[in-house]
Amino acid sequence: MDSPKKPPAKATTYLDRQPGTDAVLEAWLPRLIESNEALIAALVRLRDFYLAGAPRTEAQEVLVQVRVALERAEMVQKGP
C-alpha cells in the first residue's frame, strides 16, 4: 500500500507589512551574522584550548573573548 502524499506546502503572504521593516532588517542582519561569526570563533578557540589542556593563565584571554562575544550576541539578539 502506498503512503498518502502530502499536499504541497503553501507560502504564507502577509499583506500588512510595516513600513521600514526592510531597512531595519538590512541594518540588523549583518550585525547578527557578525555576532554569530564571533561566537563561533571564540567557542572554537575555547574548545581547542580545553582539548589541548592549556594552562589556566593562557585560557583567560580566550575566556575574555568568549565573554565579549556573548555580550555582543545578547545585544544583537535584542534587535535594533
pLDDT at 7: 67
Query: What does each C-alpha distance from 20 to 16, 59, 76 come to in angstroms?
Result: 12, 44, 19
**Residue 46 domain-assigned?**
yes
Confidence of residue 4 (pLDDT cuts 50, 70, 90): low
**Residue 3 domain-assigned?**
no
The model's pTM: 0.56
- d(CA 49, CA 57) in angstroms, rounded, equals 11
And the C-alpha cell for 10? 503553501
**Residue 56 domain-assigned?**
yes
Please measure the distance between the N-terminal and C-terminal CA atoms of the chain and give it in whole angstroms.
53
**Residue 2 domain-assigned?**
no
Number of domains in the chain: 1
Write out pLDDT tens, residues 35-80.
Answer: 888 888 888 888 888 888 878 777 788 888 888 888 888 888 776 6
Residue 50 belongs to domain spanning: 21-77
**Residue 11 domain-assigned?**
no
